[in-house]
Structure 1
Amino acid sequence: MRGLIFPIKTWWLLGLTAFLALVCLVQSVALIPTWPNPDLRVVIPQLQEQLIVPVVIIGLAAAIFFDPQGKKSVVIGPLTVLSPTRRILPFAFTIWGAAVVGPILGWGYMLVRSAAVRFRLIDLIAFLVLIISLFAAATLAMVLANLLPPKWKLVLTPLLSALVVFVPVIMNVFLLAGTGKSSLSLAFMWGTSLVSYPTDFVMSTELIRLVYFVLLSVCGVYALMRFNSYALTGRRSFAIVGLVYLLAPALVFASSILMSPVLTKYEDDRQKCEVIGEYRLCLPIAQATLIPSLKEHFQQLFAQLPNAWVDPKTPIGFAEGAIIGPLTLQNPGNFKTRQEWEQVTFSNIAYNIFASGGHSDACSNQAQFYDDLRNSLLLRAKLPMDLVYGVNEETGQESEHTISADASPQLAFLTKLSTAEYQQWLLKHRDSIATCKLSKENFR
């Protein structure tokens, strides 16, 4: 190793690797919830969305390492007698090594934990895409470090490196929105976690991404040598040849926009299902540990409702694309804790069970009644509830708390009814609930 990176000190490589590992560890643990027992199809895209900070660090390292390699540098004499390969590789190996090994070490905990849940060939390919994209990003950062003027290099190299990684997302949002085309298929990151419950990677797309980032890496290495020669000599012919090397990946990227391959698909994997009365709860195997508590919660919920208040054919599970039903569960990956997920999930379900679907002034004016209906169901079934903010009258300080049964006269009325009386009340006023015609008189 010492021979590969000479004259770079070994501690530079170890220090940069350790720093990147620490940053990636903190990012992954802080930003990816582990309580839902996530698998690699969820974790890898979320790691992909965290590339900006490592790339900025790599860009700064590239600017520092390649700062002496300019035509105005005092060490230009000794450097010019070396071949481009011998001149570049010690610096490049240091940055490549840190850029690849550091994140792998930092992500190790999350990856091992996720792979223990489920590990497939497509997960391995998606992970290789992630690592090779980091290698490519590091190479492009070194290219920028050789092109930028010395006095701006330390500032612009990390910023432009991050911009290169984020440009496809910007294009997709501002240039391609509404066109049916996408620039994300060959992007370093997607700007959002598109792969989530219950969607999955697409094998053909991941293979295309793998080939593209290998191509970008190889072309980037050749371009780096030419741009380094340009930085040392100032001869434009080297810069032109370097640009030619980058032309191939640029054309492939442009063609991917025209084809816009599908990024994700619905998961075809096995699911674990549980029957709850007339209803059926199904979750991916990786999240099957959530089923026992969900079953108990739904049993409590259905016990408060009249029979078939919600169509028994309504599935209980994660959303499939844009299809969201009254019993759809929230995506666990969006919540830091299980408690927060359950609170939002059951608050939404209770709201959807009574939602009228109307948008008239009458429905808007009755928002409080629907809040009371939702909260009455949650309180009666002893289900997790969203926290609300209020001001303590004694201290004047703002605090968060759950809704209590005496929050409104309507809520107090509904929570005091017996289960049979509550069900009869719902059946009696079903049409009024559906058409936004409830009144205070109904709550007596």
Structure 2
Amino acid sequence: MQAAADALILGAGPAGVALACRLAAQGLLVDVIAARRSPAWEGLSPRVIVGLRRAGCGAAVAAAGEPARRAAHWNGQSSTLNHEHLVERARFDAALRRDLRSAGARLTEASVASLRRVDGLWQAFDVSGAPLSRAAFLVEARGRRAPSAGVTLDNGPRTVAIARIHQGDPGPAASAAASFADGWVWMAALPDGRRLLQFVVDAALVPPRVQLSDFHASLAAAVPEAAEWIARRAPLGVATARDATAALRGGLVGADWLRIGDAAFTSDPLSGHGVHSALGSAFAAAAVISSLRAAPDALPLVQRFVEERNADLFGHAAAVGNAFYRMERRWPERLFWRERSAWPSAPSPAAASGLRRQPVVVEGRIVEREVLVTPRMPRGVLTIEGVELAPLLRLAGAHESTTELAQRVGHTPAHVGTALSWLRQNGFLHSGGGLPLV
């Protein structure tokens, strides 16, 4: 068997690949094991493209292509929103694999049937019992397919996405979303003439697999925007269904293992946070692994960082989705809209402005620092323009000039001036420049 790796990542989606590229750039030997995904399409926001570039995933960025126009038909009104990049996951995943190899990670295309610790190392085995990889650290990044671990801390209403592709004449790429009495539909068109209808409905409405295609066809005929989207287009293959329930899991990190991306929490598809959250979890995971490798006794702080971060992001995504559901007011008594407009049952209370000690990432490691919390930024802000805010806040109360403050904190007057402006705008300093308000 080949030499043991520093890290073994299960899954080659955006989260797993971004993390592998980050770790490989730090000089770690990284193994990635991934099975082929089921066919799917995805809409990527412009900020996802920014995250892919930051991760060094140039091939994936190229595969995303140019952004397509996006429209919405919601609450009886139609509007043109912004744009999204439409990707066919098979092509996009192939590009992610190219990025993996370019980064120097070792990729094995296989399904992991079991995991065991042997002589202090994680070992992965296929269904026949053949070993696939050995590594000191294990990362679970297989998304919703990942075996469950720990406990589920929160669940949204059980939701299923049912998709089917139709083929017609070539045309411009575009996407749209439309609400209807029992859910909503995401519609996507690729330039080669293929068009996707993905209906998002309550799990209670989903029929047995053998009836999925007929159910999909009945929804397409009943929703005017969907019927127009696939008019004069023939279906390709059968309809497929996948779970789309929002879920927050606990037990996400140990001394030599970590769950990231959709293996840690999943968002309602209406929140639009899926791939962006996955990339963010990869960047945070790199700091988690570096911290635990350097200082195993940092585990309690790392656990707090991971659990709080995921809970905050999950809550934010839930609130975004809830806001969109409440915008649709035509069917308040229908099961789908009633449950999703009421979940989460109570929004997270707004954070009070002030100072709080919290685990944060500094120079690639997780450390505890004082951050400034605002209602808009409940996880807190450590720095502005590289200037640490808590020490600056204390010094600013002494009425020193910006130049004097810059000398004391070791930054340029311009950067300190920007940080002071942020403190004033967020109520931490009197506008006149004097005393802290916290």
- What TM-score, normalized to structure 1? 0.28
- What TM-score, normalized to structure 2? 0.29
| More strand by percentage | 2
* Larger RCO, structure (CA 8 Å, separation 6 or more): 1
| More helix by percentage | 1
